[in-house]
Structure 1
């Protein structure tokens, strides 16, 4: 999907919000309390990883593409996020890595795939009209 100069802003915002939602759901599920501040504490390594992927892969060029943009943001968020959690003494255990991979994959790839499906369906309907 081609992108205009500013069309990357909603995609970046969606990535940010979805990573925060992932962190808030996790904190709530584990009854950690202080969901708002705690979500930011939990999310920052994943946000840093996603941000690094955005910069390194120049995701703003095709911010809504599942491949390679979405996949790189997803893998960057999880890989760098887990590394940052490890070096800062936060928990990194295999079950959490698996949950993060699955959840962030669904979130970060899902909204891009859903948007692509909506656009494709809309184009087909416009051609028929």
Structure 2
């Protein structure tokens, strides 16, 4: 459970960093209100992504969990931004996709590299061929 929470926090920090950089780049005030006003669509997408990817199973996995979380975060945020008329110009979508990929997948890649010697894969007997679990 702690690993799942750690992954969730890592992704939230990636989204908040992305939003903060965007606000600063556009000379907008960096306040809690402005951060929330922009970030909420991404955070909703992030939660949906973690649920869809069942990230609690392998919270730090780059593939498929990390990629799935990133893709769902992006699509859901763009859908919500469209629904609430917050802007989804093509250039914004491209930059968002690239930056969120670097941030959300990047921290996972670094964590995977740093902890490569510590990992042990847990095999579920139900996943083994020819095994029936009662």
Q: TM-score range by the shorter chain?
A: 0.7 to 0.9
Residue 19 of structure 2 corresponds to which residue in structure 1?
23
Residue 51 of structure 2 corresponds to which residue in structure 1?
55
* Conserved? CA contact 2:59–2:65, under 8 Å: yes
* Conserved? CA contact 1:46–1:80, under 8 Å: yes
Superposition TM-score, scaled by structure 2 size: 0.83
Taking only aligned residues, the RMSD between alpha carbons, in angstroms, comes to 1.4
Unmatched 5+ stretches in structure 1: 124-129
Structure 1 outlier segments of 4+, above 2 Å: 120-123
- 5 Å matches for 1:89-100? 89-100=85-96
Equivalent residues, number: 119
- Name whichever structure is richer in helix by fraction: 1
1:65 and 2:25 are equivalent in the alignment: no
Give secondary structure in 2 for the equivalent of 1:16. helix
In structure 2, C-alpha distance between the alignment counterparts of 1:122 and 1:52, rounded to whole Å:
29
Give secondary structure in 2 for the equivalent of 1:61. coil
After TM superposition, give the deviation of residue 10 of structure 1 in Å: 0.9
Residue 118 of structure 1 corresponds to which residue in structure 2?
114
Larger Rg: 2
Residue 126 of structure 1 corresponds to which residue in structure 2?
none
Superposition TM-score, scaled by structure 1 size: 0.86
